[in-house]
Amino acid sequence: MISTPKSTLFPTLTLLLSLPILCFYIAPRILPPRQITITLPDELDDLSLFHKAIAMDSSNFSHRHHHRLPSAKSHLSTAIRRPKIAFLFLTNSQLHFSPLWELFFSNVSHKQYNIYIHADPFVKIPPFQGIFKSRVIPSKRTQRSSPTLISAARRLLATAMLDDPSNAYFALISQHCIPLHSFSYFYNFLFDLGRLSVTDFEFSSYIEILDNEPTLWDRYNARGENVMLPEVGFEEFRVGSQFFVLTRKHALKVIKDRKLWRKFKLPCLNLDSCYPEEHYFPTLLSMQDPNKCTQFTLTNVNWTGSVNGHPHTYHPSELSPQLIYNLRESNSSYSHMFARKFSPDCLNPLMEIAESVIFKD
Ligand SMILES: *[C@@H]1O[C@H](CO)[C@@H](O)[C@H](O)[C@H]1NC(C)=O
Ligand SMILES: *[C@@H]1O[C@H](CO)[C@@H](O)[C@H](O)[C@H]1NC(C)=O
Ligand SMILES: *[C@@H]1O[C@H](CO)[C@@H](O)[C@H](O)[C@H]1NC(C)=O
Ligand SMILES: *[C@@H]1O[C@H](CO)[C@@H](O)[C@H](O)[C@H]1NC(C)=O
């Protein structure tokens, strides 16, 4: 099951290993940041995890419970026995809003959710407390503008699939994300049987999938011109928010993929156009199962006035009940469930409006 990385040897090893690394890195620090590459041992580690998760899913759980459901809705409640949401926290810092999340989960039965954390082991983070205690999965180094963020998300998906066959939805969350509704609102929304399509009784993933962004051509060629061919033609290349809520069926597709990963794991030549995690998931799912993706993210991000690829970060002076109501609004028929990014000092003002605004539906 889940365990924090054991590390009696780790500090000494890190020290020994870091000497050459330090020398190596001090000079390039002044130049543009080096992109870390994924080593063969790390790749093999991941593959073995994915194989285990795939094997369990097909032997045990299969598509019986959540995917190919019986042909009448009346059978659904017995077919989907107590489905859970897996909350996948992807972070390289402490979880700034953990007290808010504690409150989010406070009245909720453990039978309805699980928590998993991928925390960059190269960053010193104080041990997670409360409901986050011991929820860190074996994690590896992550870096912006590199495929390591894809790996981390796939590691979270596979670990959660393996850990509990009842995990039916997988929600990727960052340390800068906050909830915009109560847990039960979100849970009831996801498992609302009215949302199932009448023909195949299958739930959909909430992942943004866009094909009309002006930067798409540069991002497609970030690893070199035509490098993505033949696996991914430009007309198949998509972009979308990295923060998704996937069904188990789609989580399985993601960890099964080898073909697209071979291309997306290549280092970028052009770091300004390098956001692999914003392309891999939307491209893969739009190629494999577009009709079961809403093409819409449940996480509100404010790209107005974005700087350097970073979205607008909310600060305490901007917080108000009205902001929460505005962030919930969307162009889709349903509300946003989460929002990012918030600066860590938003915690107290958010806690003040938690019960009266955020968790009041
Ligand atoms: C099937 O699921 C059960 C219950 O979660 C688990 O204990 C068991 O190991 C799984 N079987 C396989 C073959 O992985
Ligand atoms: C938890 O339950 C208490 C008592 O029923 C209620 O007052 C409170 O608003 C609930 N908190 C959340 C976050 O739902
Ligand atoms: C989005 O960010 C801009 C500043 O970059 C701000 O003016 C605007 O109010 C924000 N939108 C919302 C809905 O908060
Ligand atoms: C709805 O879509 C329009 C046009 O794309 C956009 O300008 C607007 O900000 C969107 N509104 C919300 C609430 O997302």
pLDDT tens, position by position, for the chain (361 residues)? Answer: 454 444 444 444 444 444 444 434 443 444 455 778 889 999 999 999 999 999 988 765 544 444 444 444 444 443 356 899 999 999 999 999 999 999 999 989 888 999 999 999 999 999 999 999 999 999 999 998 889 999 999 999 999 999 999 999 999 999 999 999 999 999 999 998 777 665 667 889 999 999 999 999 999 999 999 999 999 999 999 999 989 999 999 999 999 999 999 999 999 988 889 999 999 999 999 999 999 999 999 999 998 878 777 899 999 999 999 999 999 999 888 899 999 999 999 999 999 999 999 999 8
Question: Which amino acid is it at 178?
Answer: I
Q: Is residue 119 part of a domain?
A: yes
Q: State the distance from the centre of ligand 2 to the C-alpha of 107, rounded, in angstroms.
A: 6
60 lines ligand 1 (CB under 6 A): yes
Q: State the distance from the centre of ligand 4 to the C-alpha of 331, rounded, in angstroms.
A: 6
Q: Is residue 33 part of a domain?
A: no
306 lines ligand 3 (CB under 6 A): no
What pLDDT sits at residue 61?
52
What pLDDT sits at residue 174?
96
Pocket test for ligand 4, best of 213, 296, 327, 331 (most atoms within 8 A of CB): 331
Question: In angstroms, rounded to a whole number, what is the distance separating the alpha carbons of residues 215 and 273?
Answer: 8
Cis amide prior to 341 (ω within 30 degrees): yes
Q: State the distance from the centre of ligand 1 to the C-alpha of 56, rounded, in angstroms.
A: 7
What pLDDT sits at residue 281?
98
What pLDDT sits at residue 81?
67
Q: State the distance from the centre of ligand 2 to the C-alpha of 119, rounded, in angstroms.
A: 30
Ligand 2 site residues, Cβ closer than 6 angstroms: 103, 106-107, 182, 355, 359
What pLDDT sits at residue 246?
97
Q: Atom 8 of ligand 2 has which residue's CA nearest to it?
A: 355
Domain span holding position 178: 40-358
What pLDDT sits at residue 260?
97
What pLDDT sits at residue 78?
39
Ligand nearest to the CA of 329: 4
Three-class SS state of 87: strand
Q: What phi and psi, each to the nearest 5 degrees, are found at residue 325?
A: -60, -40
**Ligand 1 atom with the shortest distance to the CA of 60:** 1
Pocket test for ligand 3, best of 178, 299, 300, 302 (most atoms within 8 A of CB): 302
Q: Is residue 103 part of a domain?
A: yes
Q: Atom 1 of ligand 1 has which residue's CA nearest to it?
A: 60
Instruction: Extract the tokens encoding 16.
Output: 């020994």
**Contact call for residues 123 and 152 (beta carbons, < 8 A):** no
What pLDDT sits at residue 21?
44
**Percentages of the chain per state (helix, strand, coil), in multiples of 5:** 45, 10, 45
Query: The domain that contains 197 carries what CATH number?
Result: 3.90.550
What pLDDT sits at residue 140?
95
330 lines ligand 4 (CB under 6 A): yes
Q: Is residue 93 part of a domain?
A: yes
Q: Atom 11 of ligand 1 has which residue's CA nearest to it?
A: 60
291 lines ligand 1 (CB under 6 A): no
Question: In angstroms, rounded to a whole number, what is the distance separating the alpha carbons of residues 49 and 39?
Answer: 16
**pTM, two decimal places:** 0.85
Q: Is residue 6 part of a domain?
A: no
Q: Is residue 29 part of a domain?
A: no
Ligand nearest to the CA of 327: 3
Instruction: Extract the tokens encoding 277.
Output: 């995690």
303 lines ligand 4 (CB under 6 A): no
Three-class SS state of 342: strand
Q: Is residue 328 part of a domain?
A: yes
Count the neighbouring beta carbons within 10 Å of the beta carbon of residue 225: 9
What total of structural domains would you count in the chain? 1
246: part of which helix (H) or strand (E)?
strand 245-247
Ligand nearest to the CA of 59: 1
304 lines ligand 4 (CB under 6 A): no
99 lines ligand 1 (CB under 6 A): no
What pLDDT sits at residue 331?
86
**Contact call for residues 114 and 160 (beta carbons, < 8 A):** yes
Ligand nearest to the CA of 165: 1
Pocket test for ligand 1, best of 57, 59, 60, 167 (most atoms within 8 A of CB): 60
Q: Is residue 295 part of a domain?
A: yes
